Amino acid sequence: MSEKIKTKLDKDKSDALILSICLSVSFVAGIPLIVVGAVNEIWVVLGLAIACVVVGFYGTPIAWMHYGSMVAIKRVVDAVLIEKIETVSEISKQLQISPKVAKDRVTTAIKRQYIMGYRFDGETLVENEPKKKEKLKPVENHCPNCGGKMESFDGFDFCPYCNTRFKVER
């Protein structure tokens, strides 16, 4: 597995964890700060405390759900890249999730570039093979101008005797 991909996935997962913890702490810390700000008439503290509670109240569940989905996607990525499981049905059996959920997680991992170097047809992951560049072999033709042997390269015929170049349509 590429360390770059592993690092990106781990970084995204740890970022989601840090955000979740920060929002949870801001929600909990905001409640007593509202009391402190209101009792002591420190309006800036009161305003910031209310903002912390509101952001924490709405953001904490969303952040934790996102973190949970990152953990689930990481498990699928590990199943593909480390355990070499390559079909949705095998992934769903191994992880004890439905095939639809497994397919969705594989698709998400591919879109976020956590799984690279594979083709996915909706059921099976197939590792890409590096494309071999074919060397173009010269094709011998005869020049219409001088009758010499011509060579074909990159869609053009070239006569080395009379220096004539022809566009070839094949």
Is residue 88 located within the same domain as residue 140? no
Is residue 122 located within the same domain as residue 159? no
The answer, yes or no, to whether residue 2 has pLDDT greater than 60, is no
Is residue 115 located within the same domain as residue 57? yes
Token duo for residue 68? 């949970």
pLDDT in tens, 156-169: 777 888 877 777 66
The CATH number given to whatever domain includes residue 165 is 2.20.70
Query: What is each CA distance from 60 to 33, 34, 72, in whole angstroms?
Result: 18, 18, 18
Is residue 54 located within the same domain as residue 115? yes
Is residue 143 located within the same domain as residue 60? no
Token duo for residue 28? 């909990």
Is residue 110 located within the same domain as residue 55? yes
Is residue 77 located within the same domain as residue 160? no
The answer, yes or no, to whether residue 1 has pLDDT greater than 50, is no
Domain range enclosing 142: 136-170
Is residue 43 located within the same domain as residue 20? yes
The answer, yes or no, to whether residue 136 has pLDDT greater than 70, is no
The answer, yes or no, to whether residue 3 has pLDDT greater than 90, is no
Is residue 103 located within the same domain as residue 161? no
pTM for the model: 0.68
Instruction: Name the domain count of the chain.
Output: 2
pLDDT in tens, 59-83: 999 999 999 999 999 999 999 999 9
pLDDT in tens, 45-61: 999 999 999 999 999 99
